[in-house]
Amino acid sequence: MVYGILILADATLAVLALIAAPLAGIRTARRWLYVLAALVTARLAVAGLLLGGSVLLAESRLVVQLPLAVLPVAWALIRPGRTASHVAAGGVLLSVWWLLAPFGPQDTVLVVAGSVVALAAVAAASVGVGRWRTSGSRASGLPWLAAFAVLIPAVTLAGAERANAAAEGHRHSGQLSVDQLTGPRQGTPGVRLTLTAAHGQVRLASGRVVDGLTLNGSSPGPEIRAARGQLVEVTLVNTDVTEGVTLHWHGVDVPNAEDGVPGVTQDAVAPGQRHVYRFVPGREGTFWYHTHRDGAVNVQRGLFGALVIGPAGGTTVFTHAWPGDIAAFGRSDGPERRAATGEQLVRLINSSEDPQVVRVGGAPFRVTALDGNAIPGATPLAAGTALPLAAGGRYDITFTVPDGPVTLALDGSPDVALAFSPGGTADPVAPGDGERFDPIAYGSGPAPAGGGYQRTFDLRLDDGFGFSQGRFSYVTSLINGRLYPAVPTLEVTRGDRVKVRIANRGMIDHPFHLHGHRVRVLSRDGDPVTGSPWWTDTLNIGSGQTYELEFRADNPGIWMDHCHNFRHGANGMILHLAYVGVTTPYSSDHAPE
């Protein structure tokens, strides 16, 4: 959290510098240079503190942004003058620009060289215009230096647009095609069902009606239950969803062809068409399914449901945000009551695109699984403890119902609450404010055997200006300075042990989800995991946070790795994890979200 505050502080200082720099350049008054010096010094101090969180958080600030400001401002203070003031102002503006238009490490040399050339051009223009004005020419009075301030961003954005245009879709070469990596084609399914997607009205508990999308006439769709090792066959039928539908089995390491990603593992199922998925789940736990076609809209409208692998029992609760920002537990957008006695298992699934916090009050409870992964040594947590759910994330919790109600309440939506009580008539009771659950030190158990890594990757998540599929905007969705489809693919070979460092340098949470694999969290902000091994498939990375992760490349294919805030994914926060030698016959002209 502290590093998120530092990032916000740096952004605030940058905005102030953006205001002060033109004044220092236009008025060339020494007091404005002192203001710039103070702001740049403060940014330098903040960058030093960010370095304590991770090199990834501070590197672009310390290597490029701040030197572009510090050196010219220092020169202007030591050798004051009109040209020095102009260069100092230009350096500060460039420093702020590279914060607003983040770049990846692959672009560092080009950015530094271009910035030095730009500052040299500012100095030359300052000297030339100064001499020109002494000649009395009217043209010399035009804002030539301001033109340079506009030209630099324009050239940068043109380069970014060309980089994006040069990466029209991800092309992979190899002899093994994705459509060969299927589930079992033979054998009688232990679970077989058809899911029919169609437009329909979804009636919430309050009586409000949502113009939504349904699966078999309802939303959430039918809960699918299967045993570990059982062959599951699901036939998806599209009645009238014009944009097409797919089904992604979130958290289940299915064969690549069954993953449900349009343009990568299949074509979207058009109206009147059907598609059959077959897979054998290899791990018990709480999972869910949802469309991966236009997920930014169609998951919210209702194309999702629960997938539970393991013994019968338990209550599934979705935290969902329906169109119109209507918060609900499933379809319950108000207080709900259920009869329950003895020990209860509740499966929490966050199907909304934003992080959600659920509080449990009325009894102590345990978190027995996270993202479908059992937590050995789970210990009781106090009533009122807050459970932060990443978008797409899941918790299994257990508690014993006392004489009074046990209440699950959604933070920020006081009317959304579920009460379990012996008679089923007790009203929800405010759960109170407890501590925030943190998996980093929860539970116990030995870590998996270690070893060397064959692949290591660094991912930097940024806010800033960028081009995504020909559109220009300020987005919260850059990975290493790029947007899909220009984000380079991570390439691995089957059997590789892979280590990933991922740092959020922006101010918005990003719940990252890797398809086809579960990952183990090694550390957060430099602090190692000390509890049970922390396995996950959807990790919320808050502002200023840095995680170290590892996984085994044991499921060949071409896999999505993306932000599960579907709007961020649609804006371009997507990359591929591709196994060497695997190719795909499918293509898409837009981000497969």
Q: Are 296 and 312 in contact (CB under 8 A)?
A: no
Q: Does residue 115 register a pLDDT over 90?
A: no
How far apart CA 344 and CA 214 sit, in angstroms, is 29
Give ∠ CA 136-138-139 in degrees, rounded to 5: 120
Quick: pLDDT tens for 124-175: 877 776 665 565 555 445 455 555 556 666 666 655 555 554 554 455 666 8
User: What local confidence, expressed as pLDDT, does residue 25 receive?
Assistant: 72
User: What local confidence, expressed as pLDDT, does residue 134 receive?
Assistant: 60
More confident residue, 208 or 85: 208
User: What local confidence, expressed as pLDDT, does residue 120 receive?
Assistant: 86
Q: C-alpha 262: how far from its chain's center?
A: 19
User: What local confidence, expressed as pLDDT, does residue 234 receive?
Assistant: 98
How far apart CA 173 and CA 132 sit, in angstroms, is 58
Indicate the range of 79-83, 178-182, 272-276, 569-573 predicted with least confidence: 79-83
Q: What is the mean pLDDT of residues 436-450?
A: 91
Quick: pLDDT tens for 255-285: 999 999 999 999 999 999 999 999 999 999 9
More confident residue, 334 or 155: 334
How far apart CA 486 and CA 490 sit, in angstroms, is 12
Domains in the chain, CATH or no CATH each:
2-165 (no CATH), 314-444 (2.60.40.420), 446-583 (2.60.40.420)
Residues near 113 by beta carbon (within 8 Å), at least 6 away in sequence: none
Kindly report the backbone phi and psi dihedral angles of residue 580, in degrees, each rounded to the nearest multiple of 5, phi listed first.
-60, 130
Alpha carbon separation from 342 to 307, 363, 402, 421 (Å, rounded): 25, 12, 8, 10
Quick: pLDDT tens for 513-532: 999 999 999 999 999 999 99
Q: What is the mean pLDDT of residues 394-406?
A: 97
Q: What is the mean pLDDT of residues 179-204?
A: 96
Q: What is the mean pLDDT of residues 325-348?
A: 96
User: What local confidence, expressed as pLDDT, does residue 264 receive?
Assistant: 95
User: What local confidence, expressed as pLDDT, does residue 162 receive?
Assistant: 52
How far apart CA 28 and CA 212 sit, in angstroms, is 60
Quick: pLDDT tens for 1-51: 789 999 999 999 999 998 888 888 776 567 888 999 999 999 999 999 999
How far apart CA 177 and CA 190 sit, in angstroms, is 28
The alpha carbon torsion through 399, 362, 320, 275 (nearest 10 deg) reads 10
Q: Which of 371, 195, 198 is nearest to 298 (CA)?
A: 198
Q: Which helix (H) or strand (E) holds 497?
A: strand 497-504
Q: What percent of the chain has pLDDT over 90?
A: 72
Burial of 372 (0-12, 13-18, 19+ CB in 10 A): buried
Token pair of 349, please?
A: 């699934």
Token pair of 335, please?
A: 């207080």
